[in-house]
């Protein structure tokens, strides 16, 4: 599907802030694809579509899970918004005609990440966090530098920030996020000296 058509459709289904966010993610995904050696167009499509289910209400997300026969985990039951990732992948396939498995997985795991992500999954996960329309977040400068230099380190720093934030709000933490954090904590040897953090 033509990128301009996807953009128009996303503009129609998202509010203005969210639309600006997905445009920002699309741009950063393309930059990261060039830097880290991935197909730029595929990265752009994944970035643009990653939040295509973000406009849906909790009820609509649960309804879509039934419709697409998607399992709902315990963590997702407690934090329904997490479902916008897997429902987004189903909508990308069903309504936008995306059949590329790498793009669909990048959409599915953009919120929690997962251990041993593919390059595109790491690109979308990171771009979602660092795109320029995001409000300032802790350590964002360091994460932006890492994103262009050492993507695994950027993923680790994002997960650490996310877990620190979730802990501070005593929100539910998806165990996938913890698993992913534990995986990426060990990936970068430069981090081996750091004290382990337990969540
Ligand atoms: Fe999202
Ligand atoms: Fe997003």
- What is the residue extent of each domain of the chain? 3-138
Number of Cβ atoms within 10 Å of the Cβ of 74: 9
Q: What is the pLDDT of residue 191?
A: 53
Ligand 1 centroid – CA 83 distance (Å): 9
Which residues does the chain have with pLDDT short of 70?
188-199
Tell me the torsion sign for CA atoms 167, 173, 178, 180: negative
Ligand nearest to the CA of 85: 1
Which residue's structure tokens are 């793009």? Answer: 103
Q: What is the pLDDT of residue 138?
A: 87
Ligand 1 centroid – CA 38 distance (Å): 21
Q: What is the pLDDT of residue 172?
A: 83
CA atoms within 13 A on the CB side of 122: 26
CATH architecture of 3-138: Orthogonal Bundle (1.10)
Alpha-carbon gap, residue 10 to 23, rounded angstroms: 9
Q: What is the pLDDT of residue 170?
A: 79
Ligand nearest to the CA of 53: 1
Ligand 2 centroid – CA 50 distance (Å): 6
Please give the model's pTM, rounded to 2 decimal places. Answer: 0.93
Q: What is the pLDDT of residue 136?
A: 83
Alpha-carbon gap, residue 18 to 49, rounded angstroms: 11
């Amino acid at each position: 599907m033509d990128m301009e058509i996807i953009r128009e459709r996303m503009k129609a289904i998202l509010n203005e802030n969210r639309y600006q966010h997905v445009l920002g993610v699309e741009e950063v995904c393309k930059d990261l694809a060039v830097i880290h050696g991935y197909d730029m167009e595929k990265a752009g499509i994944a970035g643009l579509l990653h939040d295509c289910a973000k406009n849906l209400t909790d009820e609509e997300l649960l309804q879509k899970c039934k419709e697409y026969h998607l399992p709902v985990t315990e963590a997702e039951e407690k934090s329904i918004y997490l479902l916008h990732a897997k429902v987004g992948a189903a909508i990308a396939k069903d309504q936008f005609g995306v059949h590329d498995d790498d793009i669909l997985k990048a959409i599915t795991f953009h919120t929690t990440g997962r251990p041993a992500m593919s390059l595109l999954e790491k690109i979308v996960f990171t771009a979602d966090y660092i795109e320029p329309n995001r409000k300032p977040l802790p350590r964002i400068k360091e994460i932006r530098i890492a994103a262009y230099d050492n993507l695994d380190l950027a993923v680790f720093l994002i997960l650490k920030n996310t877990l620190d934030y979730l802990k501070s709000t005593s929100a539910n933490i998806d165990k996938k996020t913890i698993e992913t954090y534990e995986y990426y904590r060990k990936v970068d040897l430069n981090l081996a000296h750091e004290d382990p953090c337990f969540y």
